[in-house]
Amino acid sequence: MAPDFFIQDTLTVAHDLIGKELRYNHPHYGRLSGIITETEAYTQDDPACHAYKGKKTNRTWPMFLEGGHIYIYMIYGMYRCLNISTDIEGCGSAVLIRSIRPLTGLDTMINLRQKPIQECANGPGKLYNALDIDPALNGKKLGDSLDIIDSNMSINAIKRTPRIGISKGKDLLWRFVI
DNA sequence: AGAAAGATCTTCT
DNA sequence: GAAGATCTTTCTA
């Protein structure tokens, strides 16, 4: 992506990430990638955001990094979710990557998930396991290991809906999906 | 120190 | 559609 793509309004980033290619260069399995089909925006004005009101903790600090850094957190004790920080440094905001359509490394993903390909990466926790992302990437910048590529996909209809699995901020249409 | 909630997934009915 | 699995993080006392 253009260098400053992530250093802008979180809603814009969440919307524009739909149709882009998420690419992970796995140390053992090689390239695993897919087209992003679902995202959600979280800003520090938002009650559902981990960094609500600028709350910076041992968990949430990567959200405050300059746009384009990786934020990985564990949820429900067993799953991890992948986010990309947005906006300028010091702003606690990010986009949650909720779903991808697998593009390369399909066999690997099927192996890792033990599911048919359509169900390998159609959810935040599933996507994380399908790519087998290294948790040590938390707080690192997008780059050689994990990156988002400007694909030339033409996107028809991006829908806006309420976000999933939250108890606050349900009125905001901050989920983007094809 | 203890408790409660949590940006989910799977399995079952 | 509902519930259980499972445990980290954060808040409260």
User: How many angstroms is C1' of B1 away from CA of A134?
Assistant: 33
What confidence tens digit (pLDDT) does each residue in A100-118 have?
999 999 999 999 999 999 9
Nearest nt by C1' to A63 Cα:
B7
pLDDT in tens, A130-176: 999 999 999 999 999 999 999 877 788 899 999 999 999 999 999 99
How many Cβ atoms sit within 10 Å of the Cβ of residue A76? 7
Q: CB count, 10 Å around CB of A140?
A: 15
Gap from A60 CA to C6 C1', in Å?
Answer: 22
Cα distances from A29 to residues A13, A102, A104, A108, in angstroms, run 29, 14, 11, 7
Near-strand B residues (CB closer than 7 A)? A 40, 42, 48-51, 63, 71, 75-79, 81, 83, 94, 96, 113, 115, 119, 123-127, 163-168
Whether the pTM exceeds 0.75: the reply is: yes
